[in-house]
Amino acid sequence: MVKELSLSYVRIRYPDLNREYYSNKEKVRKLISFAKDFYLWIKKQLVES
């Protein structure tokens, strides 16, 4: 899923790709959910180090 998060950065920058890959709320909801989990994991790693 990290790969998808990375690709999403490129995809949301361009309107044609944006509409193709994120055409409904469910696709966006999955991405946001993963981004949140990934952020919390990184934050935990930084606090523990």
Q: Are 3 and 9 in contact (CB under 8 A)?
A: no
* Cα separation, 36 vs 33, whole angstroms: 5
Q: Return per-residue pLDDT of the chain as tens, 49 residues.
A: 688 888 888 888 988 988 888 899 998 998 899 999 999 999 999 999 8
pLDDT value of position 46? 95
Task: Show Cβ contacts of residue 1 under 8 Å, excluding neighbours closer than 6 positions.
Answer: 34, 38
What residue ranges do the domains of the chain occupy?
A: 2-48
**Other C-beta atoms within 10 Å of 4: how many?**
13
Residue that has been written with the tokens 């696709």 in this structure: 27
Helix, strand, coil percentages in the chain from 3-state DSSP, rounded to 5? 90, 0, 10
